[in-house]
């Protein structure tokens, strides 16, 4: 029974035999590869530590949800409007008010802004933008990109209006509509408007420019990947149709796993402009007078983008480094194996052919010759008197 069980023993010990009582055999090429391995190992460890602690190795993923119910204050993403001619020159505001009238309507449905009211509506006018009021949180960013004196903004008193939900959402929604009309004497307390022909010509040869604060995402910034920027869009004005421009915004969430060993998530959120939805719609003119010709809406798009960034864990960084080092070691062993037999065989032959000190110059060539003969012909090695000691004894016997 024991003999049968021996055959399935997976823990059998295999004896090892060493030549010249040496466990290992060193070589010059082995020493060279060892030095190279140590140098590369040092560089790999330095590089791994640098990329890990500097947060340079990470992975990102992205998902998108629709019909998300969220809200933001307009002051978080201020909007500013101006009119330019075809030579890219802004129209001074003192002349602009003689051409056009900008009215603002805010609609809130289903008990959003006023708990005691299901529908809330208010109207107001735009005012000249000012860094100390309308754009107080974006002074440095806006000042270097546009000439703010030529732009109109929402008044400071209405700058914190909430935009919430998507149009038609049963939970409620709100939006801002900027209504653009021709300046007509006697309306809205205007009595210094240009004549209608001059206004029509002005509209035909002008562009409406709207600007806002938006963001880019820079995944390489560990603490806050959102990079603020000023964006502007330009559209031709026309009185042939009622043109609607919709500036829709979506919510962005960015979750970062800061953990060195385990999860340590931190989430940031911003409101971005959603360029994936068409922003221009043309309608048949519904104003009998023809004065009202353009709308600009501020609302949500009902989308939510979710970004997730995961930094490399320490155990992963070390595993990657040791994998590289193990691969280099395996490659070095492969190189050694190529020269292994040759190196070992040379040392073995040198030991066999090591002569006595007294006849080192005479006997070595003879031994080499005899060894070569024995390798090519075993019979010669056995039958022929190949050893000089035997020949010498034979001659001595004759003398005696």
Q: What percent of the chain has pLDDT over 70?
A: 71
* pLDDT tier, 308 (very low <50, low <70, confident <90, very high otherwise): very high
Distance between CA atoms of residues 23 and 20, nearest Å: 9
Lowest mean pLDDT among 150-154, 260-264, 329-333, 368-372: 368-372
Is the pLDDT reported for residue 398 higher than 60? no
CB atoms within 10 A of CB 342: 10
| Lowest-confidence pick of 141-145, 259-263, 279-283, 344-348 | 344-348
* Amino acid 76: pLDDT: 81
Which pTM value belongs to this model? 0.64
- Residue 218's pLDDT band, with cuts at 50, 70 and 90, is very high
Share of the chain above pLDDT 90, in %: 8
Q: How far apart are CA 119 and CA 108, in angstroms?
A: 6
Highest mean pLDDT among 12-26, 247-261, 308-322: 247-261
Query: What is the pLDDT at residue 225?
Result: 92
Tally Cβ neighbours within 10 Å of residue 9.
Answer: 8
Q: Assign 3-state DSSP to the chain and report helix, strand, coil percentages, each to 5.
A: 35, 30, 35
More confidently predicted of 284 and 67: 67
Three-class SS string for the chain? CHHHHHCCCCCCCCCCCCHHHCCCCCCHHHHHHHHHHHHHHHHHHHHHHHHHHCCCCEEEEEEEEECCCCEEEHHHCCEEEEEEECCCCECCHHHHCCCEEEEEEEEEECCCCCCCCCEEEEEEECEECCCCCCCCCCHHHHHCCCCHHHCEECCHHHCCCEEECCCCCCCCEEEEEEEEEECCCCCCCCCCCCCHHHHHHHHHCEEEEEEEEEEEECCCCCCCCEEEEEEEEEEECCCCCEEEEEEEEEEEEEEEECCCCCCCEEEEEEEEECCCCCCEEEECCCCCCCCEEEEEEEEEEEEEEEEEEEECCHHHHHHHHHHHHHHHHHHHHHHHHHHHHHHHHHHHHHHHCCCCCCCHHHHHHHHHHHHHHHHHCHHHHHHCCCCHHHHHHHHHHHHC
Least confident residue range of 78-82, 107-111, 156-160, 375-379: 375-379
Residue 138's pLDDT band (boundaries 50, 70, 90)?
confident
């Amino acid at each position: 029974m024991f003999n049968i069980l021996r055959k399935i023993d997976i823990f059998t010990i295999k004896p090892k035999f060493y030549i010249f009582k040496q466990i290992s055999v060193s070589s010059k090429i082995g020493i060279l590869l060892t030095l190279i391995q140590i140098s590369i190992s040092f560089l790999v460890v330095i590089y791994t530590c640098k990329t890990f602690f500097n947060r340079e190795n990470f992975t990102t993923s992205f998902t998108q949800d629709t019909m998300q119910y969220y809200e933001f204050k307009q002051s978080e993403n201020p909007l500013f409007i101006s009119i330019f001619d075809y030579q890219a020159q802004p129209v001074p505001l003192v002349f602009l008010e003689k051409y056009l009238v900008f009215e603002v309507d805010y609609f809130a449905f289903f008990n959003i802004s006023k708990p005691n009211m299901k529908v809330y509506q208010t109207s107001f006018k735009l005012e000249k933008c000012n860094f100390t009021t309308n754009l107080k949180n974006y002074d440095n960013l806006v000042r270097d990109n546009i000439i703010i004196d030529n732009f109109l903004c929402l008044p400071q008193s209405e700058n914190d209006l909430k935009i919430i939900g998507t149009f038609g959402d049963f939970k409620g929604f709100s939006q801002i509509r900027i209504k653009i009309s021709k300046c007509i004497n006697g309306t809205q307390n205007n009595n210094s408007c240009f004549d209608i022909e001059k206004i029509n010509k002005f509209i035909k040869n002008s562009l409406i420019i709207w600007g806002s604060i938006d963001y880019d995402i820079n995944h390489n910034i560990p603490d806050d990947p959102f990079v603020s920027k000023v964006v502007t869009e330009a559209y031709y004005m026309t009185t042939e149709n009622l043109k609607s421009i919709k500036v829709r915004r979506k919510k962005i969430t960015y979750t970062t796993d800061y953990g060195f060993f385990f999860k340590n998530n931190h989430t940031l959120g911003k409101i971005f402009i959603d360029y994936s939805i068409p922003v221009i719609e043309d309608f048949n003119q519904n104003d009998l007078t023809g004065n009202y010709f353009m709308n600009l809406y501020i609302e949500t798009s009902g989308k939510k983008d979710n970004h997730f960034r995961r930094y490399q864990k320490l155990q992963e960084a070390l595993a990657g480094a040791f994998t590289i080092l193990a691969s280099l070691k395996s490659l070095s062993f492969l190189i050694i194996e190529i020269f292994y037999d040759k190196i070992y065989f040379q040392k073995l032959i040198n030991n066999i052919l090591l002569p006595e000190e007294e006849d080192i110059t005479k006997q070595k060539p003879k031994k080499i010759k005899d060894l070569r003969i024995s390798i090519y012909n075993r019979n010669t090695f056995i039958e022929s008197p190949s050893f000089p000691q035997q020949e010498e004894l034979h001659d001595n016997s004759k003398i005696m």
